[in-house]
Amino acid sequence: MAEPRQNPLRSNPLRGRVVSDGDTQASLGNVANIVTVVRILCAPVFVWLLLSDGDRDGWLRWAAAALFLVAILTDSVDGFLARRQNLVTDFGKLVDPIADKILVGAALVGLSVLGELWWWVTALILLREGGITVFRFVALRDRVIPASLAGKVKTWAQSVAVAVMLVPLDGLVGTGWLWLGWILMAVALALTVYSGLEYLVQARRTGRARRTG
């Protein structure tokens, strides 16, 4: 008995729609996923620029801050393209939030290396982000816990706090700019811890509902 022929689009994830809208298979290399991957590739370049400048607040520091802002702002671009053009893929769902964590994590580590952010703050945020990510993959691989409002606000709070701390405006507007960065980072840290605990509580409730359902 002859074996059924495989659809070539299904056997090759890189084949399919790259930009155009439609109902057929979207390529793994579609434009939305490309934007996501480019954001990840920006992280090592950003770190190099930041650390190469040191604490001199020269053009490399400004370039690092600009690159971070562009990379973070494109977070909404890949999601918009994926939804509008029906280019949503499992790869995109997986990698898109990781791209944000890599960028913010790289910035936090860079700021701590330069002595502009306490290491315990960086360690606590990275522990929360890494722990929840591993928990989602291992413990929740059979179910999805949607991101809460606190989780979404947390992501933007981290990005805004890091952006303010990266832009060296304190030399122009005074120490008030430094205080603004520290206050925003404190808010981001509080939201990071709260949203992590909220996620674990929601996961526990979902697990109980599945067992009793």
pLDDT at 210: 64
- Is residue 107 a contact partner of residue 43, using CB atoms and an 8 Å limit? no
CB 17 within 8 Å of CB 27: yes
The per-residue pLDDT for 8 is 47
> How many other C-beta atoms lie within 10 A of the C-beta of residue 16?
18
Domain residue extents for the chain: 25-208
DSSP 179-202: HHHHHHHHHHHHHHHHHHHHHHHH
pLDDT in tens, the chain (213 residues): 444 454 544 567 767 777 677 777 778 778 888 888 899 999 999 999 999 998 889 999 999 999 999 998 887 787 777 777 777 777 777 788 888 899 999 999 999 999 999 999 999 999 999 988 888 777 656 555 656 788 889 999 999 999 999 999 998 888 999 999 999 999 999 999 999 999 888 877 776 666 665
The CATH fold of domain 25-208: Four Helix Bundle (Hemerythrin (Met), subunit A) (1.20.120)
pTM metric for this prediction: 0.83
Q: Give me the half-sphere count of Cα atoms (radius 13 Å) on the Cβ side of residue 42.
A: 26
